Chains A and B, each alone.
Chain A
Amino acid sequence: MDPREFWRKSAKVWLCLILLCAVLLGFYSQVTHRVVLQQMQLEKKESSEGDCHLDTCRIPEVPRLVYPKAQLLKPTRVDVLVMTPWFAPIIWDGTFDSAILDAQFRNITVGLTVFAIKKYVVFLKLFLETAEKHFMVGHKVNYYVFTDQPAAVPQIPLQEGRQVVVLEVRSYKHWQDISMHRMEMISNFSQQRFLREVHYLVCLDVDMKFSDHVGVEILAPLFGTLHPGFYAGDRQSFTYERRPLSQAYIPRDEGDFYYAGGFFGGSVPEVYRLTVACHQAMMADQANGIEAVWHDESHLNRYLLYHKPSKVLSPEYLWDEQMLQRPPLLRKLRYVAVPKNHAEIRNR
């Protein structure tokens, strides 16, 4: 055969083969490019998530704003402590400027978890309506309503960027069990969906209503709220669990504050860790045949003693007008108890 003939014939085949390889290479590199990009984004998100030391995690950029200047030699509140000894701000009215904070916390989504089991569904309407007026106004909010009666969740008109997500869960016979299993349910759902959907989680009691601004000033990697009955008390008088057998045990000479079980939260990874730890502690107690004196609240207090919160909310953020006289140091009442008949609502 003529070599040129041979070359001409096989050249076409070779050319086609080379072109095919080139096209395949092109596709492959495009695909890996996209996969690598996605991986980088995931890594970036993971490393910039809530895992960090006591400081606030973010240095977000704020646009040019006009606001009054802080005076170094003029403390804003002289009647109360505004910072814990481990540098966690204690949020009182007058200590923060919402304009700056809103600019720092643009583009975040806040998840609010609330449990409306058995008769507690009656509280949902007022809770959600007042939340629409006062809770994180101007930011994206997902209300996660845990209930055993999805049909009983009222339809509330919502502002833009806010939605109600109804999560059906089982109910328990005793109200103490319902209260304690909140930790387990939050931890399960944190892993399954909250991590992907929101930046921060706020875990609230449902038998309450919002009466004043509750905004991004509360957001931190981990925060707790001062219980309204104990903010002025000595650590010996705190109703911590005092039996050493319990996992929630705190000795008499320890303790910073008595935190309320009805308002805590933080970044999703930190809330996940808290709820898992509390749930495991409660399971251990159950195995040892003991139940902490204030149930999940006792376990929460133990956790927050040894994992210091990065922000503490003052009793403005959780108050009961029926049970307590309002002192002058509380300039605002933001989240208050709704009057209820305890005996009737808790059992059956």
Chain B
Amino acid sequence: MRCPRLALGLGFCLLVVVALCCLWVYVENWLPVSYVPYYLPCPEIFNMKLQYKGEKPFQPVTPSQYPQPKLLEQKPTEFLTLTPWLAPIVSEGTFDPELLHRIYQPLNLTVGVTVFAVGKYTQFVQHFLESAEQFFMQGFRVHYYVFTNDPTAVPRVRLGSGRLVSIIPVLRHARWEEISTHRMQSISQHIAERAHREVDYLFCLNVDMVFRNPWGPETLGDLVAAIHPGYFAVPRQQFPYERRPLSTAFVADGEGDFYYGGEVFGGRVAKVYEFTRGCHMGILADKANGIMAAWQEESHLNRRFISHKPSKVLSPEYLWDDRKPQPPSLKLIRFSTLDKDTDWLRS
């Protein structure tokens, strides 16, 4: 009498176990993987899947007249034009703007720009956007993403056709270092949620800067970094890398190519996502170990650019500090910092 009941009970348990296994397998397939370390609460990063946009093949360039490249010209180029890993270093004279425009225009690209205007930094937005309207990616579709804690403080600026602004609300943190280190997280989240559908290329710029000369498709690349204006003539031992081995941004003495500025980086949207996520993971790990890198996210950016070398490097023309005197080797300043009282801004 008891045996069939036992059998029934066992059978039922087996059934439940098998059903649960199948369900788990299905759910595991469907839920995307999250990369966040278990000891830090970042619930919003779960359930984020990034779809890569289909890549376009080489488009033919329309026939046109332009001067023939001179292979043997003894032109004294002041700057190195190619990194040792064959990435172009962009400076005035190394490219033909007409030709590049003709190559990139038919691709119908949209270029995104992220800027963070948190706290008192909202005062820079107007000047930034106005100068961008004049010089940044003329003739292309542009989408500005302004991350701010106070949307009402962001002024309305008149934009050309095919260009728009989106305001992204973010939290304001107590310390300015916190705001700075959260940029990587905000950018990668924003790409996963929105930007990957809206733009092809993305540049992450500082808002307290202004465009002074054309910034065009010569800057487009898979992963683009800009050389810091303060360190381009200096040996690598003097670069302000993070030198404490405990930090994930640690760079040893014999390592390093260039010191890149944290104010400008960008590239194809998928590559920028991987880059910012990688930096963010490093920042989180440091936070867990109770250390903050010497130059916050710029240190992490520099660490990552050593192991994931940029495919294009922008000369200091694309990231200049107006307080420095302009050397003769720099023919054209395109994007520079504004002289400002940083102590007051950060309070």
Contacts and interface: CB of A to CB of B under 8 A. Distances in A.
Interface of A: 8, 11-12, 15, 18-19, 22-23, 25-26, 29-30, 33, 36, 47, 51-64, 66-67, 69-76, 78-87, 89-91, 95-97, 100-101, 104, 217, 221-222, 226, 231-232, 234-235, 251, 253-257, 269-270, 273, 306-308, 311, 329
Contacts of A26: 18, 21-22, 25
Contacts of B64: 254
A90 B71 CA distance: 9
Given A62-B309, A83-B82, A257-B69, A73 B14 contact: no
B227 interface: yes
Contact of A47 (B55, B76, B315): B55
Contacts of B308: 59-62
A87 B88 contact: yes
Interface string B62-88: 011110111111101111111111111
Contact of B69 (A25, A53, A81): A81
B15 interface: yes
A61 to B, nearest CB: 5
Contacts of B329: 73
A97 B84 contact: yes
A100 B95 contact: no
Interface string B15-27: 1001101100110
Nearest to B65: A253
B54 interface: yes
A74 B70 CA distance: 20
Contacts of A86: 95-96, 99-100, 103
Contacts of A270: 57-58
A54 B311 CA distance: 11
When A and B form their complex, which 3 residue pairs have the shortest distance between CB atoms, in order from nearest? A97-B84, A85-B96, A51-B55
A301 to B, nearest CB: 13
Contacts of A82: 81-82
B255 interface: yes
A258 B52 CA distance: 37
> Which of B74, B83, B235, B258 neighbours the largest number of chain A CB atoms within 10 Å of its CB?
B83
Contacts of B103: 54, 86, 308
Contacts of A8: 4
Interface string B263-284: 0000000010010000000000
Given A8-B4, A72-B227, A256 B68 contact: yes
A289 B220 CA distance: 44
Given A36-B29, A47-B54, A51-B55, 4 more contacts: A15-B15, A72-B80, A85-B99, A87-B218
Contact of B307 (A25, A61, A73, A307): A61
Nearest to A84: B69
B55 A232 contact: no
A123 to B, nearest CB: 29
Contact of A78 (B58, B76, B95): B76
B8 interface: yes
Given A57-B222, A81-B70, A74 B80 contact: yes
B212 interface: no
A71 B309 CA distance: 16
B80 A73 contact: yes
B143 interface: no
A335 to B, nearest CB: 18
A235 B65 CA distance: 12
Given A69-B236, A269-B57, A307-B60, A101 B85 contact: yes
A84 B18 CA distance: 63
Contacts of A273: 57-58
B61 A306 contact: yes
B89 interface: yes
Contacts of A231: 71-72
A85 B69 contact: yes
B35 to A, nearest CB: 16
Contacts of B63: 251, 254, 306
B85 A100 contact: yes
B70 to A, nearest CB: 6
> Which of B52, B60, B88, B99 neighbours the largest number of chain A CB atoms within 10 Å of its CB?
B88
Given A87-B95, A226-B71, A307-B58, A70 B25 contact: no
A104 B232 CA distance: 24
Given A15-B12, A22-B22, A97 B85 contact: yes
B95 A85 contact: yes
B107 interface: yes
Contacts of A69: 235-236, 256-257
A205 to B, nearest CB: 22
B312 interface: yes
B107 A53 contact: yes
Contact of A29 (B25, B66, B72, B307): B25
A256 B76 CA distance: 21
A226 B84 CA distance: 21
Given A15-B11, A70-B80, A73-B79, A78 B74 contact: yes
Nearest to A307: B58
Contact of B257 (A58, A70, A80, A87): A70
